[in-house]
Amino acid sequence: MTEDKIKTAEQQAWILIFICWLIAMAALFGSLFMSEVMGLKPCLLCWWQRVFIYPLAILFLVGLFPKGHTEGNKVDPSIVRYTLPLALIGWGFAIYHALIYYSIVPEALQPCSEDLSCAQINLQLMGFINIPMLSIFAYSGIIGLLLIYRKRSFQ
Amino acid sequence: MKKNIIVAASGIFFVGLFVLATTFYNKQQDEDLNRASKDNIDNVQRDHSAIMGPLDAKVTIVEFFDPACGTCNAFYPFVKKLMDDNPGKVNLVLRYLPLHQNSDVIVSILEASRLQDRFAETLGRAYQSRERWIEHHVAKPQKFWEQLAGLGLDMQKLNEDLQSPETARRIKLDMQDAQALNVNKTPGFFVNGKRLTQFGYQQLQDLVESEIAANY
């Protein structure tokens, strides 16, 4: 590969991780807006999804500025190793939450406390977008981009 | 563009959007709450409620409260001071919103104490001894009962009155009104029917003072 091509590849990789960071930031601020401003109390499963996406907003940011490469467009080469596990676990919780939300998994099996049901409909945007769905979108987006990044960096 | 500029700009964008959305949302909420209290002005005050201070005062604070609520406890001396600082001009209507577990029993005791003309004393005792009858945010009516000695209450009559249908009806009506007015936190304040939308000591004082200025 010529130097130009390496540069373009690096730039594209950087943009992939940058978008991951944007998604995590949107999830962070979006969820904080819903709980702190709108006063929607997060249910137990929401908390588990927060646990895994909040650190991603920081990890991606750090990964975008690897040690000794603050100038170029290099990304921390091992970023997938420590962000993908978090994203996958969070994605699992998001899927489980959606299954409860759409009553595919029965209510009795859900681990929520009685006063705060995870199946309760708190927010609907444009008639069909809800909180578990937003969570699945965010996690799936991050996982997808990380897999693309990994595939490219192995080439 | 340099990557640190892009990242910094994005960070600022997120924070700015959050602040903007918060401001917008709160403004919208305030308008909704004001509309709710205007549309349901009859629900703000009821004749059955306990009232403190001069009956002919032109400024009335309506407080939806829960005796188990720490913030209500903290506001109580402040509200009394507002009344003392403006003698004859401000009175206080207390309405029940028992949100803590078992707190409904505590408010029935308070309501029953009114029939013996001991409401202010009983409420004062409830706040004063709060830590002794609340465990992990759950009210313990039996422990509260033990705190009532020395108030000159006829305990047998109190016990009968707190179970009366009229007591239950009043508490239920208070809670229904709170729901109609969208009061879901305590203390919830109204001054002459106007909702205190931004919560705080100073905000309450400002609202009371503006009503005093408008009525005297």
List the one residue out of B197, B195, B187 whose CA is nearest residue B74. Answer: B187
State residue B191's pLDDT score.
Answer: 93
AA letter at B185: K
H or E segment at A26?
helix A3-32
- Residue A149 CA to residue A21 CA, distance in Å, equals 13
Interface residues of A toward B, Cβ cutoff 8 Å, are 14, 18, 21-22, 25-26, 29, 32-33, 37-38, 61, 64-65, 70, 73
- For residue A7, name the pLDDT band (cuts at 50, 70, 90): confident
Is residue B142 scored above 70 in pLDDT?
yes
State residue A121's pLDDT score.
Answer: 64
Residues of chain A with Cβ-Cβ distance to B10 below 8 Å are 21-22, 25
State residue B104's pLDDT score.
Answer: 93
State residue A100's pLDDT score.
Answer: 82
Q: What is the average per-residue pLDDT within A28-36?
A: 92
Residues of chain A with Cβ-Cβ distance to B188 below 8 Å are none
AA letter at A98: A
What does the mean pLDDT of chain A come to? 84
pTM equals: 0.69
Q: What is the average per-residue pLDDT within B88-104?
A: 93
Is residue B21 scored above 80 in pLDDT?
yes
Q: What is the average per-residue pLDDT within A76-88?
A: 93
- Residue B19 CA to residue B86 CA, distance in Å, equals 37
What does the mean pLDDT of chain B come to? 91
CA B13 vs CA A38, B18, B118, B164: distances in Å? 20, 8, 57, 59
Q: Which residue has the higher pLDDT, A92 or A42?
A: A92
Contact criterion met (CB < 8 Å) for A70 and B4: yes
State residue B37's pLDDT score.
Answer: 78
Is residue A120 scored above 70 in pLDDT?
no
Please list, in sequence order, all residues whose beta carbon lies within 8 angstroms of the beta carbon of residue B143, skipping any fewer than 6 positions away. B132, B133
CB of A105 closer than 8 Å to CB of A96: yes
- For residue B64, name the pLDDT band (cuts at 50, 70, 90): very high
Dihedral pair phi/psi, residue A65, rounded to 5°: -125, 70
The residue behind tokens 């109609």 is B180
List the one residue out of B68, B71, B133, B130 whose CA is nearest residue B99. Answer: B68
- Tell the burial category of B186 from Cβ atoms under 10 Å away from its Cβ (0-12, 13-18, 19+): buried
State residue B1's pLDDT score.
Answer: 57
Percentage of the residues of chain B whose pLDDT score is greater than 90: 71
End-to-end CA distance of chain A: 11
Distance from CA of B151 to the nearest CA of A (A): 37
Residue of A nearest to B26 (CA): A37
Q: What is the average per-residue pLDDT within B31-41?
A: 81
Q: What is the average per-residue pLDDT within A81-100?
A: 93
Is residue B168 scored above 90 in pLDDT?
yes
CB of B93 closer than 8 Å to CB of B62: yes
CB of A21 closer than 8 Å to CB of A95: no
State residue A154's pLDDT score.
Answer: 67
HSE of B163 in the Cβ direction (CA atoms, 13 Å)? Answer: 5
Q: What is the average per-residue pLDDT within A3-13?
A: 81
Contact criterion met (CB < 8 Å) for B18 and A32: yes
0.90 surpassed by complex ipTM: no
Q: What is the average per-residue pLDDT within B99-107?
A: 92
Q: In the numeric block, which tokens belong to residue B207?
A: 């609202």
Is residue A73 scored above 90 in pLDDT?
no
State residue B188's pLDDT score.
Answer: 92
State residue B90's pLDDT score.
Answer: 95
Is residue A108 scored above 60 in pLDDT?
no
- For residue B45, name the pLDDT band (cuts at 50, 70, 90): confident
State residue B39's pLDDT score.
Answer: 80
Contact criterion met (CB < 8 Å) for B7 and A70: no
- Residue B116 CA to residue A102 CA, distance in Å, equals 54
Q: What is the average per-residue pLDDT within B199-211?
A: 93
State residue A16's pLDDT score.
Answer: 93
Contact status of B17 with chain A (Cβ, < 8 Å):
yes
- For residues A18-43, one letter each, b for 16 or more C-beta atoms within 10 angstroms of the residue's C-beta and e for the rest, the string is bebbbbbbbbbbbbebbeebeebebb
Is residue A114 scored above 60 in pLDDT?
no
AA letter at A11: Q
Strand pairing category for B50-52 and B90-96: antiparallel
List the one residue out of B29, B31, B38, B36 whose CA is nearest residue B192. Answer: B38
Is residue A129 scored above 60 in pLDDT?
yes
Is residue A110 scored above 70 in pLDDT?
no
Q: Which residue has the higher pLDDT, A112 or A117?
A: A117
The residue behind tokens 């403190």 is B52
State residue B182's pLDDT score.
Answer: 85
- Residue B105 CA to residue B66 CA, distance in Å, equals 11
Is residue A6 scored above 80 in pLDDT?
no
DSSP string, A108-154: GG----TTS-TTS----BTTTB-HHHHHHHHHHHHHHHHHHHHHHHH
CB of A75 closer than 8 Å to CB of A68: no
Residues of chain B with Cβ-Cβ distance to A26 below 8 Å are 14
Q: In the numeric block, which tokens belong to residue B67?
A: 């005796």
